[in-house]
Amino acid sequence: MKEIIKEVTDFLNVRIPMGGKDVDITVQTVLALIIGLILVKFLLKYLKMIARKKLDKEDKNKFDTIFSFTSWLAYVIVFSIVLSSAGVDLSAILVASSALLIGVGLALQTFFQDIISGVFIILDKSVHVGDIIELEGKIGRVEEIKLRTTRAVTIENKVLVIPNHKYLTHSLYNWTQNGTTTRESVTVGVAYGSDVALVKKLLLKAANEHPKVFQHPAPMVVFENFGDSALEFKLVFTLGDSFQALIPQSDIRYRIDELFREHNISIPFPQRDIHIIRNKE
């Protein structure tokens, strides 16, 4: 029996060379590390199960994202504690791999920026699943918020994958944070000399006839400017689904063109007067 115990002890004390005297570890340390990581895994799983029972569906998704990040931190802490308790000099490991760590750190700089940005997005609730956002001229409906990226779908049904660090470095427009309704517009120019009162009436008629345009607040017409070649008007109206605004805007433009033709109101094209001066010799 003593011989068996001695053999087991000798086996557990077998040193595994790691490139230097101060960084050698034993089989016992490896087993302790494996057991510690397994215990942490089950503990985290149990804590996650308890916490998710008291959360709403949307909050559960956010909690899972943050929890995955904190889980990695927990594994790193346990890994460091076990090695330190076994007498392993972690500073020696860090010094031996400092060049590698610097290279990896530079390579993963953007990666960690995405993760930190993702945590901020989830915590401050600036963006939710279902929101319509505009970033760098690209518009999409948010389908999923992950720790590193946000997945959105454009009106063309194309998947838009946005690295989360862009939220910190670019201006983000959340079209639906104040509600699903948004104010949209259509601009048009008419020839000088046109009856502006009639133009206003026809523009309002085109908007009010469309089934997706809200009557409250009512559509309105803004006389924007006396342009170089036209009198410039903007028709402003409210829609319930701004993500599909392109279709109602197109319908209203078709109707405006039809009404203008019926009432002989022309939409001018840019015109320039060219004066040619001849030199007399």
CA 8, 34, 71 angle in degrees (round to 5)?
A: 165
Domain(s) labelled CATH 3.30.70.100 in the chain stretch across 182-262
Query: Which CATH architecture fits 119-174?
Result: Roll (2.30)
Task: Give the N- to C-terminal CA distance of the chain in Å, as an integer.
Answer: 126
Q: Could you give the CA distance from residue 163 to residue 234 in angstroms, rounded to a whole number?
A: 36
pLDDT for position 115: 72
Q: Which CATH architecture has domain 182-262?
A: 2-Layer Sandwich (3.30)
Phi-psi map region of 80: left, alpha, beta (phi>0 left; psi -120 to 50 alpha): alpha
Give the per-residue pLDDT at 192: 93
The pLDDT value given to residue 62: 62
What is the predicted pLDDT for the residue at 19? 52
Task: Compute the distance between CA of residue 228 and CA of residue 192 in angstroms, rounded to an integer.
Answer: 10
Q: What is the pLDDT of residue 125?
A: 73
62 and 122 in contact (C-beta within 8 Å)?
yes
DSSP-assigned states of every residue in 267-278:
-PPP-------P
SS3 130: coil
Q: Which residues of the chain have pLDDT under 50?
A: none
Q: Would you say 205 and 263 are in contact if contact means Cβ atoms under 8 Å apart? A: no
- How high is the pLDDT of residue 120? 76
Q: Cite the residue boundaries of each domain of the chain with CATH code 2.30.30.60.
A: 119-174
Give 225's strand partners: 232
Reported pTM: 0.55
